[in-house]
Structure 1
C-alpha cells in the first residue's frame, strides 16, 4: 500500500486557511502592524547565573505564584478562578475543545473580529455562526437582539465570542449589551469575552470581576499588550472555579515555561505595574497625537472605531471621498516596501473598506510614520 498524506489528514485540516500573522507579510522596519507595545516590556528581568531558575526541573504546572499576583492585580476573589496558558490563543482553543463536540456543535462570532476564533473552530471541526457587528458610522457594537435570535434558533451554539475592545475595531463593548447576552435564558452555553486590549481603555472597562455573578462567563486577557510581553506568550482565563478547574485539567502538564513564568512574575511586581502604567500614559498621548494628525490628511476619510486600544483604524478614500481598498492597499505596500514603516491592511474586513490599522508607536516612530503618510496622502 502506498502512503498518501492527503488520505489520512482530516479533511477540515486540509481545507484550513491558517491565521495570517503580521510577520508573515513584513518583518523589518518600523513595525506598527501587530499591536505590540512599542514602549517595551514592563520589567527589566535579566537571566543570569544567579537567578536560580532550576531549568533542569519542570516548571510549576499550577503557576501558583503567578496566579496569586494576577488575583491581586485583577481584583478577582480567588486564584481558583484562573487558568494560565500560552497566550490568549490557548484559552480560545481550550474553550472550543472543552465545550464543543466536533462535527456537531458551533461557536458564534461577531465580525469583524479576531481571526483566531474561526481558525480554532476550523481546526477542531466546529461550525461557525456569524452575527455581524453594527458597523454603521464605524460604531462596531454588538447587536444583542440579533445574537439572541441566533442563539434561540440554533441550540448547537456552545460558545459566544465577544472581543472588547475589538480587534480590528478598537471599540470597547457596552456592558449592558454583554449582560443582555449573558442573561439570555434560552442560551445554555458560555460567553467568552476577549479583553486583550482592555488596559488601553482610559476608564476601567474589565468585566473580570463579573465571574462571581455569572457562572457562564469566561474573560481572557494577556500580558502581550499593556505589559509589553508578547515574546513570552503568557495569557490568562478568568472564570468560575468550576470552569477554571476544567481548563487546568485539560491543558498540557507544563504548558507555561519557567522562563516565561519568571518574567511574568517580575512584571506583576510593583515596579512592573508602575512601568506598565507609565507606558499606558505614553500610549494614550501618542494615540491622541496620531488621531489628530491623521484627521488633517485629505485622503483620510474617517477614524473608525472607539479608539479604546493601542491602535487606530484610518479609512483612506479616493478623490471622490469614497473608501478605497485599492488605494489603501497601495499605500500599505508603499509604506512597507519603500518607506520602512509597516502597518496592517484591513480593507477586506466587514465595515473596514479602505482601512489601515496602525499600532501606536513611540514619539519618534509616530513622527516618522506621519511624515511618510503626509508624503503619500497629500
Structure 2
C-alpha cells in the first residue's frame, strides 16, 4: 500500500480540528488565560487499581440531588465533549441529517458533526449576540436533527432568554442541546428545570470550569431517561476513570469551596472588566456571565503575539463571525490578572 491516506474518509481528511491555544506554544511558567479553567488548584490525584463503576451509580445519586433531578436522567461523560459526540452519533444519520448552531459559538459542535459526516447549518447571532428565534425557525431545514445552543455562549459570554429557548424547544422537530458549561457563574439562567417539560431537551454541564476539575475531564448530560439510556448504550464501558470519580466526589462534598471560588472569580471578572476599558487599543469589553471576557481591540493579532511573548496566553477569536479583532481573556487569579494589566500598560500600539 503506497498511500494509506487514501483510505481515510473524505470528511475526516478535510476536517479542521478544534484548535487549542495550548498547542500554539511550548515552555513552562506561562500565565494561562486562554482555556476558561478555574485558576485555583483544589484536589490531588489518588492512586487506583480496579476498573470503575461503568454507570457511576454512587456519584450520580449525589449529583442528581444537587441538580434536582433523578439519577436515571443523568449521563456522565469524559468531559461534555463526549456527550456532544454521542448525541450526534446516536441521533444523526451520516450524510443525510444535519445539526444547527448559532455563530459565533463553541467549535466542537461543528468538529464532532464533521467527524461523523453530519452537515452543519450555521445561523448568525444578532449584533447583541442573541438568537433571532423567529428567523431561525423560518429558515431551519427539515434535515436538522439537533440544535446546539451554548448558554452562556462561548466566546461571547452572554446568555439567551428562557423564552427564546422554549420557543425553539416547542417548535423544532428535533433535539435541542443547551450547553451550560458556564452556568455556575449565573445559575439562575439554567434550563435544567425544563427537562421534565420538554422531552427533546438535553442540557450539558461540566465540572471543568467553576468546579476547577478541567484535568479530571467530567461532563454531564441531563435529559429524559430514554435519551440517557441511549447514550449509555453507546458510550465506552469505563469512560470515566476512578481517580476522576474520586476527585469529583471530594469536590461534591465541599460545594461551599466551589461557591467561594465562583464569588472570587466573578469579582475578579468585574475588576478586569473595568481595568481593560482604560486602554485606547481596547474599543469594547463585552458584558459576561461566564469566567471570561470578550474584548474588541484595534489589532487583536498584535496584542495576542505581544502577550504570548510575555508568557501570557489568551485566545484570538478574530476568525469567528461578529468577532473581528476580538480576544477572549479568561479570568485568572488576582495576581495573574494584575500581571496582564501591567503588561498591557507597556504595550505601544
Query: What TM-score do the two structures reach when normalised by structure 2?
Result: 0.97
Aligned-partner SS, 1:307: coil
Counterpart of 2:161 in structure 1 is 174
Q: What is the correspondence of 1:258-337 to structure 2 with a 5 Å cutoff?
A: 258-269=242-253, 271=254, 273-304=255-286, 306-317=287-298, 327-337=299-309
Aligned-partner SS, 1:366: helix
Contact kept in structure 1, 2:46 and 2:246, CA below 8 Å: no
| Shift in Å, 1:39 | 2.2
2:80 counterpart of 1:88: yes
Distance 1:330 1:39 in 2: 29
Distance 2:166 2:193 in 1: 13
Aligned-partner SS, 1:212: coil
Counterpart of 2:241 in structure 1 is 257
Distance 1:105 1:46 in 2: 41
RMSD: 1.3
Q: Structure 1's 98 and 206: CA in aligned 2 closer, same or farther, altered over 3 A? A: same
2:180 counterpart of 1:195: yes
Counterpart of 1:144 in structure 2 is 133
Contact kept in structure 1, 2:32 and 2:314, CA below 8 Å: yes
Distance 1:84 1:103 in 2: 28
Tell me how many residue pairs correspond in the alignment: 347
Counterpart of 1:25 in structure 2 is 24
Distance 1:11 1:165 in 2: 34
Counterpart of 1:127 in structure 2 is 119
**Correspondence for 2:109 among 97, 104, 117:** 117
Q: What is the correspondence of 1:88-107 to structure 2 with a 5 Å cutoff?
A: 88-107=80-99
Aligned-partner SS, 2:347: helix
Runs of 4+ off more than 3 Å: none
Contact kept in structure 2, 1:297 and 1:377, CA below 8 Å: no
Aligned-partner SS, 2:103: coil
Distance 2:321 2:273 in 1: 22
User: Which string of whole-angstrom CA distances, capped at 9 and with x for unpartnered residues, describes residues 258-293 of structure 1?
Assistant: 111111111111x2x111000001101100110001
| Shift in Å, 1:244 | 0.6
Contact kept in structure 2, 1:298 and 1:377, CA below 8 Å: no
Q: Name structure 1 gaps, 5 residues minimum.
A: 318-326
Aligned-partner SS, 1:204: helix
Counterpart of 1:13 in structure 2 is 12
Distance 1:212 1:82 in 2: 13
Distance 1:204 1:211 in 2: 15
Distance 1:11 1:86 in 2: 27
Distance 1:125 1:352 in 2: 27
| Shift in Å, 1:340 | 1.6
| Shift in Å, 1:45 | 4.7
| Shift in Å, 1:131 | 0.8
User: Which string of whole-angstrom CA distances, capped at 9 and with x for unpartnered residues, describes residues 70-99 of structure 1?
Assistant: 1111122x1010011100100000110011
Distance 1:223 1:370 in 2: 28
Query: What TM-score do the two structures reach when normalised by structure 1?
Result: 0.89
Aligned-partner SS, 2:322: coil
2:345 counterpart of 1:374: yes
Distance 2:130 2:121 in 1: 17
Aligned-partner SS, 2:189: coil
Contact kept in structure 2, 1:335 and 1:342, CA below 8 Å: yes
Distance 1:257 1:208 in 2: 26
Q: Structure 1's 181 and 377: CA in aligned 2 closer, same or farther, altered over 3 A? A: farther
